[in-house]
Structure 1
């Protein structure tokens, strides 16, 4: 059907699509920029085509712009992800392992660091559309521009000026839903939240 559309129709619709995307990016930027810090609890559920059961986890989130991030999974399998703006640490207590990686352009475009990043650069990394404008519950769909991105799309939902959820679809067919609760914007966050003191005896892998 799409192939049968005339060139005139395509050219007529293109400016309107670009305008809509620009408006969506502006609206999302406006919401994210209002929160210099965010703290929250989260519950995460992941389902893929190969599994009949979903995997669930929960934990806490702390972010501070630009690029300071702490994502702590408290159960059932603990994991800690921290960014100090230059590097990212991933600590797996069960594996007794810490992975350290530079916060490069590709990594900064991942969902985990989206909330703490530079909102002005969102349009550089994502195609953005607004999927809901109803009342005080807007939602947005982001699709990475990079061909080698690990995920296919990301939906972000708000209530007022606070984030309420994220839905991630990765390139392998898995769908992850994240529900946020006890969300607080612009509260003081201890600087130590964005630093990892590596425990003795763990393996350290630098990439």
Structure 2
């Protein structure tokens, strides 16, 4: 087998995974403040700014908490960074406080996002795949759950500012795929619309209509993966989860045929360092370094055995 074939496989794998929160130390941007006599007054403004952010977050949470149950239809408009309308969609959103959220997109493609209080489920029937994440790990890239959350650890991941009835939430983590999350909710707690702006400038605007506040059963927010779909369970240990998914994907697509002459001479400990630096950008390089460097001369039994270890 040629290394180029395996590299093509690893490149494909690298595009499959999006990690919503890398393990390890966060990069902290250092800023130097030059304090002059005039700048001393600015210290008061810094304190005022922090207070303003805290007040905006409290005001937003207070408004959202006024409505315990909500059902609505939504229209979705996707706009490019250049302001071009690139897609229209529609669906239904259902909310029940605390911590229950459901969004069913009907067009242009059916998808489901369901938060049951602990797990965030994303189901794409077209590709027959379900992704499961802990809500606490998903909120950094899926801020929709903040609409029903009272958890301070969730809200602490965002800074909040207010412009009339619009609240702008910006993730504190530089690793988030979201640039900002806007929520428009009036003083009586009626949610009008919300939008996400991605780092590339693309905006997804969701405008609500036909809003009702009738009771919703809790089982509406429960999700059981349909039989036969692929489950990407990111609630597992991140290292073993990605390897498990990668190997199963590989053997499902290629039936292990081109691996017949590979002998992977490694132990479980070889994967441990990955936990400290797992990122979408270096997954490909990690696989290349640790898989292409192994001996290519015997059977793939040890490689296949990893699946059962996982």
- TM tier, shorter chain? 0.7 to 0.9
Higher relative contact order (CA 8 A, sep 6+): 1
Q: CA deviation at 1:90?
A: 1.3
Partner of 1:69: 101
Give, in whole Å, the separation in 1 of the partners of 2:224 and 2:152: 31
Verify the 8 A CA contact 1:125 1:145 in the aligned structure 2. yes
Give, in whole Å, the separation in 2 of the partners of 1:145 and 1:206: 25
Cα shift readout 1:106-128 (whole Å, capped 9, x = no counterpart): 31343221112116456512111
Q: Aligned residues, how many? A: 199
Of 155, 171, 189, the residue aligned with 2:182 is 155
Name whichever structure is richer in strand by fraction. Answer: 1
Partner of 1:171: 199
Q: CA deviation at 1:95?
A: 1.2
Q: CA deviation at 1:52?
A: 4.7
Verify the 8 A CA contact 1:108 1:117 in the aligned structure 2. no
Q: CA deviation at 1:147?
A: 2.0
Task: Call closer, same or farther: CA 1:99–1:139 in 2, change over 3 Å.
Answer: same
Give, in whole Å, the separation in 2 of the partners of 1:179 and 1:157: 10
Partner of 2:267: none
Partner of 1:25: 57
Cα shift readout 1:17-59 (whole Å, capped 9, x = no counterpart): 2232222122111101112222211111112248954111111
Equivalences for 1:182-201 in 2 at 5 Å? 182-185=210-213, 187-201=214-228
Of 118, 128, 134, the residue aligned with 2:160 is 128
Deviates more, 1:170-179 or 1:190-199: 190-199
Question: Which of structure 1's runs of 4+ aligned residues deviate more than 3 A?
Answer: 3-6, 49-53, 119-123
Scaled by the length of structure 2, what TM-score is found? Answer: 0.58
Q: CA deviation at 1:9?
A: 4.0
Q: CA deviation at 1:73?
A: 0.3
Partner of 2:30: none
Verify the 8 A CA contact 1:158 1:164 in the aligned structure 2. yes
Verify the 8 A CA contact 2:65 2:189 in the aligned structure 1. no
Partner of 2:22: none
Partner of 1:181: 209
Partner of 2:138: 107
Partner of 1:85: 117
Cα shift readout 1:51-74 (whole Å, capped 9, x = no counterpart): 954111111111222222111001
Q: CA deviation at 1:197?
A: 3.3
Verify the 8 A CA contact 2:114 2:222 in the aligned structure 1. yes
Segments of 5+ residues of structure 2 without an aligned counterpart are: 1-33, 235-310
Segments of 5+ residues of structure 1 without an aligned counterpart are: 133-137
Of 170, 191, 197, the residue aligned with 1:143 is 170
Give, in whole Å, the separation in 1 of the partners of 2:67 and 2:83: 37
Q: CA deviation at 1:78?
A: 0.3
Verify the 8 A CA contact 1:98 1:202 in the aligned structure 2. yes
Name whichever structure is richer in helix by fraction. Answer: 2
Scaled by the length of structure 1, what TM-score is found? Answer: 0.84
Partner of 1:135: none
SS in 2 for 1:54: strand
Q: CA deviation at 1:75?
A: 1.1
